[in-house]
Amino acid sequence: MKAIESGFEKLIFSSRWLQAPLYGGLVVAGCLYAYKSMIELGHLAMGIHLLTEEKVMLSVLGLVDVTMVANLLIMVIIGGYSTFVSKLDLRDSEDRPDWLRSVDAGSLKVKLAGSLAGVSGIHLLKSFVDIKEQKPEHIQWQIIIHLVFLASTLLLAVTEWVLHKTHRHDGAADS
């Protein structure tokens, strides 16, 4: 019976590899997103002489938005893979991101929530720059959504801080 239990536990643990193709798909999606971003940059460059300063600012904010979404995607790919599938062997890599040294599921959630709040803030800023073209209800909903993202990020960060503080305190008491 112990051998069956052990085999089943190995199967359960190995099932984490079912997520690997999902992370590979996100890498492909990141490539497609980068391609689309370069197309938009080309359009901006080709039409720069016809655009007002406001339209250029909106285009640049769009590129900032794309970059922040790409950063979010990278955090999900690298952080999620290394947290849930397999550790990345990057000890010798001088390019290893600092945030990866202390990534766990909780800190990854806080980083992702913060990134979502940043993306939401960029969308809100774009609406403010282009306020003449916006419906007041649309901006109101964007503000509400942004505030929800900010509150969620804050609550996640406080929760993680309390959990880590409690964990460190319990670990010190056990020593």
Residue 7 lies in a domain: no
What pLDDT, on a 0 to 100 scale, did the predictor assign at position 109?
82
Residue 98 lies in a domain: yes
Burial of 137 (0-12, 13-18, 19+ CB in 10 A): exposed
Residue 127 lies in a domain: yes
Q: Which two tokens stand for residue 97?
A: 């991101």
**Total domain count for the chain?**
1
Burial of 139 (0-12, 13-18, 19+ CB in 10 A): middle
**Residues 129/61, Cβ–Cβ less than 8 Å:** yes
**Residues 142/123, Cβ–Cβ less than 8 Å:** yes
CA atoms within 13 A on the CB side of 89: 0
Residue 107 lies in a domain: yes
Residue 84 lies in a domain: yes
pTM summary value: 0.73
What pLDDT, on a 0 to 100 scale, did the predictor assign at position 174?
44
Closest to 46 measured CA to CA, from 61, 56, 58: 56
What pLDDT, on a 0 to 100 scale, did the predictor assign at position 173?
46
**pLDDT tens for each residue of 140-173:** 999 999 999 999 999 988 988 888 777 666 655 4
What pLDDT, on a 0 to 100 scale, did the predictor assign at position 167?
65
**Residues 59/122, Cβ–Cβ less than 8 Å:** no
Residue 71 lies in a domain: yes
- Which pLDDT tens digits describe the chain residue by residue (175 residues)? 999 999 999 999 999 999 999 999 999 999 999 999 999 999 999 999 999 888 898 899 989 989 988 988 998 898 889 888 998 887 777 787 777 776 777 777 888 888 888 889 998 888 888 888 888 898 999 999 999 999 999 998 898 888 877 766 665 544 4
Residue 66 lies in a domain: yes
**pLDDT tens for each residue of 97-110:** 777 776 777 777 88
What pLDDT, on a 0 to 100 scale, did the predictor assign at position 168?
64
What DSSP designation does 163 have?
Answer: H
Q: Which domain holds residue 86?
A: 18-174
What pLDDT, on a 0 to 100 scale, did the predictor assign at position 171?
56
